[in-house]
Amino acid sequence: MSFVQLFNKRGLTRLAATALTIAMIPLATGCGGASDGNATSSDANDVKSQTVKSGTLTIATGQPAYSPWVLDNKPESGKGYEAAISYELANRLGFDKSHVKWVRTSFEDATTPGTKDWDLNIQQYSITPERKQAVDFSPSYYNVKQSILTRKDSKYAKATKLSEFKPATVGAMVGSTSYDFAKSKVKDDIKTFNDNAALAQALDADQIDAIVLDTPTAKDMVKENQVKDAMVVGQIPGSDDPEGTGFVLPKGSKLTPTVTKALNAMKKDGTLDKLQKQWLAEYTTDVPVLK
């Protein structure tokens, strides 16, 4: 074999090996972490082994769950803002719809210390330092404002200032951010109720004069005629939830880092904005701000 033949044979071999190595580089890069917030197959297997029931993502919500967060009290439909983002999150964690199970809890029970029989809980929970002592939180998926709702025949129906509600009997749900803002912004003496249904009944029966609720829930209460001839008087100034609302997870949950990554990706890629426009726009526009 001549020198030229030997060189050509070795050179072609080296070139072929180099080309093969270069061709494999994009494949190796593509098999890295889930930088877009979606779980890889190995990540998904890890997540599925970390849930309360292996292979199933158990999500809790209220009983009942209200529009526009969950339509018709049926989270399994995926309709309503919180139902929709729950299924989007589940998908990014590697769970299809058939492997998501919904359960119900009270609002307060979810943020108390102790073991839980669910992986995530979503009921417009504001992220607060006090609650973080007992549970974990995802990043915020929405920042709500609070509004005051009353009946159209109420003497407070034409109020334009918060100070006008000082003589009123005002109600809010116990343990909620609505209660905190009602107490700090409206008046010190706020009557508490276990849920929004009890609030609506109390206002309907003239037991209280007004309710403090997050704005989407307040507008839905009017839309669904949960209180006869009700109206949203206006939003409470300075009631923007500073930390926002997040998914609650059991304290020290192994899912918290994965859920955090996925929620941040949903925020970054515009998914949260898109779902807010789809499910919340009609409930948050054209509401005046009280002085």
Nearest to 138 by CA among 57, 44, 256: 256
Query: What is the band of 41 on the pLDDT scale with cuts at 50, 70, 90?
Result: low
Using DSSP, state whether 245 is helix, strand or coil: strand
Q: Which residues contact 52 (CB under 8 A, 6 or more apart)?
A: 58, 116, 117, 118, 119
Asked if residue 22 belongs to a domain, the reply is: no
Provide the whole-model pTM.
0.74
Q: Which amino acid is at 185?
A: K
d(CA 272, CA 133): 27
Using DSSP, state whether 84 is helix, strand or coil: helix
The answer to whether 134 and 251 have CB atoms below 8 angstroms apart is yes
Give me the CATH number covering residue 89. 3.40.190.10
Residues 269, 247, 134: CA angle, nearest 5 degrees: 140
The answer to whether 116 and 105 have CB atoms below 8 angstroms apart is no
Q: Is residue 248 domain-shared with residue 139, that is, in the same domain?
A: yes
Tell me: the pLDDT tens digits for 246-291? 999 999 999 999 999 999 999 999 999 999 999 999 898 889 999 9
Q: Is residue 102 domain-shared with residue 66, that is, in the same domain?
A: yes
Query: Which single residue is written with the structure tokens 């998908």?
Result: 91
Asked if residue 178 belongs to a domain, the reply is: yes
| Residue where one domain finishes, among candidates 194, 217, 235 | 235
Q: Is residue 153 domain-shared with residue 275, that is, in the same domain?
A: no
Q: Is residue 94 domain-shared with residue 170, that is, in the same domain?
A: no
Nearest to 247 by CA among 140, 175, 146: 140
Q: What is the pLDDT of residue 29?
A: 33
Peptide bond into 250 cis (omega under 30): no
Using DSSP, state whether 237 is helix, strand or coil: coil
* Tokens read off for 165: 């509600």
Tell me: the pLDDT tens digits for 223-250? 999 999 999 999 999 998 888 999 999 9
Number of domains in the chain: 2
Domain that holds residue 163: 146-235
Asked if residue 4 belongs to a domain, the reply is: no
Q: Is residue 101 domain-shared with residue 175, that is, in the same domain?
A: no
Q: Considering only 26-40, 49-63, 161-175, which range has the smallest mean pLDDT?
A: 26-40
